Amino acid sequence: MADCSEVLRELGSYLDDDMAAELRAALERHLAQCCDCRVIVDTTRKTIRIVTESRSFDVPDDISARIIDRIMKQVPGKPGGEPGSTA
């Protein structure tokens, strides 16, 4: 049977579903009996979901347009230039 420190050590692989079935089963037997570890697994999953869905550091539209514009102004050739028109 796995213990709390083993759950913590293997948590990354467990969450990313990247472990052997046998180890997974051993961890899950421990989880069924350990409230603290269940909370850690559940809240870490929620942490990942919150980060993924947060759209953090998104780029405002005006900044997005300005970035593209400034980059393309420094790339040789004319806007809308055809292949081969590069200076």
By CB under 8 A, name the binding residues for other proteins.
5, 8, 11-13, 15-16, 35-36, 38-40, 42-44, 46-59, 63-64, 66-68, 70-72, 74-86
> Quick one: angle between helices 21-33 and 35-53, nearest 10?
110
Q: Are 63 and 70 in contact (CB under 8 A)?
A: no
**C-beta of 22 vs 76, nearer to other proteins:** 76
Min separation Cβ 1 and other proteins, Å: 15
**CB-count exposure of residue 30 (10 Å: 0-12, 13-18, 19+):** middle
**C-beta of 8 vs 25, nearer to other proteins:** 8
